[in-house]
């Protein structure tokens, strides 16, 4: 019996997604547990997984369409089922209006392929960027379409560099960086001639960040602890370890390693606040803030207590690359009990950060600075790194947070304590 496949709930705060592509062809059999399509949320790409054996009889949306959660995206039939009256199927499923949008196109002289034309008014708003180029349609990848829409860019004058002159993400980015992009006719970001300003519409990611952090400041009582870590020994060890490496270890890699080890050694901090309990974790999962071309994302390093410094460094670099390419999956940015954010590479010496709920805390890492100090009645120069710990006071009190930060400082100032596998 035919049934509708509806857009599933992807994440707690995702009410609308951008449909990227089908992983199986129309008319193909699908198997329980198989990825059948990919969609894009505000922060990541997510696979839609089949929950039954069936045949994807008709797809109802095209790549690039914005789809509300719960909207129909395909019609499934049983593996052995044969359809003789297509109009009856649409009527039975309550989408008979779509039957008027079915067209026939000849594949060969003997064979005809029947496919539905997506009706945006019946299913979802279609946000494809299209137009005429020498009398034909402009083809663009889903990511290129979304990037152009978010930046209010017209693609009418872009010559794509993808297969068949298809416009890809890099083409849109090149146009944006050149400053030659023209606003779309219905764009919201229009210059105001007498005001001296431009209103730039919020991207989906920016809205998501705003919602999350606003809720965090309202609901989680933050308190803050500061510490200064002497990093001369760490910098020397980093220099030694990087001598024979093609890909160098960063200071941030060491900081992430120290956070993971401190959470492992002080397990009372490896928790999250829940309505009915404080949940304690056996493994250490931490989020690392990455500012990619698509905005800020926080992919999670899982079971960090089992990883070496080199493995952590490799994973962070892979996350950063995939974040820039829009390839992070939803499950990769969910979870974790703690976050690390670093602005030291911008010369910021210290700052405070907002907790990413329901995590217990976030460590803000500043730049390494050289300052004078007194050692055995002599003035010497030492390298110091400032950190600020933001903590949710509901599951963690000040003494516990101070104990954790003290242990983190000890590890940073004596890196050989947790780097035995690397030497």
The residues annotated as belonging to the active site are: 393
**At residue 220, what are phi and psi to the nearest 5 degrees?**
-100, 115
Instruction: State the Cα torsion 393-399-405-410 to the nearest 10°.
Output: -170
Q: What percent of the residues of the chain are helix, what percent strand, and what percent coil, each to the nearest 5? A: 30, 30, 40
CA distance 62 to 30: 19
Q: How far is CA 71 from the centre of its chain?
A: 23
Which H or E run contains 211? helix 204-219
Helix axes 309-324, 251-265, angle to 10 degrees: 120
Please check whether residue 115 is in contact with residue 103, taking contact to mean a CB–CB distance below 8 angstroms.
yes
Cβ neighbours of residue 305 under 8 Å, at least 6 residues apart? 260, 261, 264, 283, 284
Tokens 């039954």 sit on residue: 52
CA distance 103 to 116: 6
In 3D space, the residue among 251, 321, 262, 310 whose CA is nearest the CA of residue 286 turns out to be 262
CA distance 202 to 129: 19
Largest CA distance in the chain: 96
Q: What radius of gyration do the chain's Cα atoms show?
A: 26
Alpha-carbon distance values, 268 to 313, 361, 362 (Å): 26, 12, 15
In 3D space, the residue among 413, 409, 389 whose CA is nearest the CA of residue 401 turns out to be 389
Tokens 């779509």 sit on residue: 98
């Amino acid at each position: 019996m035919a049934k509708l496949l509806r857009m599933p709930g992807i994440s707690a705060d995702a009410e609308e997604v951008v449909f990227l592509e089908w992983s199986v062809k129309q008319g193909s059999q699908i198997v329980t547990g198989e990825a059948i399509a990919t969609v894009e949320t505000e922060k990541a790409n997510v696979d839609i997984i089949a929950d039954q054996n069936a045949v994807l009889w008709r797809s109802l949306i095209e790549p690039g369409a914005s789809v509300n959660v719960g909207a129909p995206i395909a019609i499934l039939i049983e593996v052995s089922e044969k359809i003789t009256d297509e109009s009856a199927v649409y009527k039975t499923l309550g989408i008979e209006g779509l039957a008027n949008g079915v067209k026939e196109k000849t594949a060969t002289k003997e064979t005809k392929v029947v496919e539905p034309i997506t009706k945006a008014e019946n299913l979802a708003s279609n946000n494809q960027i299209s137009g005429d180029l020498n009398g034909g349609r402009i083809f663009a990848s889903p990511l290129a379409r979304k990037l152009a829409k978010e930046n209010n860019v017209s693609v009418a004058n872009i010559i794509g560099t993808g297969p068949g002159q298809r416009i890809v993400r890099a083409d849109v980015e090149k146009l944006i960086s050149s400053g030659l992009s023209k606003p779309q006719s219905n764009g919201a970001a229009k210059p105001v001639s007498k005001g001296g300003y431009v209103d730039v519409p919020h991207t989906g990611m920016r809205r998501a960040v705003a919602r999350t952090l606003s809720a965090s400041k309202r609901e989680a009582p933050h308190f803050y602890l500061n510490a200064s870590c002497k990093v001369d020994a760490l910098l020397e060890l980093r220099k030694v370890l990087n001598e024979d490496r093609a890909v160098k270890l960063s200071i941030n890699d060491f900081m992430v390693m120290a956070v993971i080890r401190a959470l492992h050694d002080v397990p009372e901090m490896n928790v999250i606040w829940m309505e009915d309990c404080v949940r304690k974790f056996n493994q250490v999962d931490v989020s690392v803030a990455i500012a990619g071309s698509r905005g800020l994302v926080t992919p999670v390093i899982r079971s960090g207590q089992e990883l070496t410094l080199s493995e952590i460094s490799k994973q962070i670099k892979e996350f950063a690359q995939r974040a820039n390419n829009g390839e992070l999956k939803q499950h990769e940015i969910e979870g974790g009990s703690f976050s690390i954010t670093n602005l030291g590479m911008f010369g910021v010496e210290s700052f405070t950060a907002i907790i990413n709920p329901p995590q217990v805390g976030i460590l803000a890492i500043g730049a390494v600075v050289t300052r004078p100090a007194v050692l055995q009645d002599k003035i010497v120069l030492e390298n110091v790194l400032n950190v600020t710990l933001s903590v949710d006071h509901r599951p963690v009190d000040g003494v516990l947070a101070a104990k954790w930060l003290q242990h983190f400082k000890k590890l940073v100032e004596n890196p050989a304590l947790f780097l035995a596998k690397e030497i």
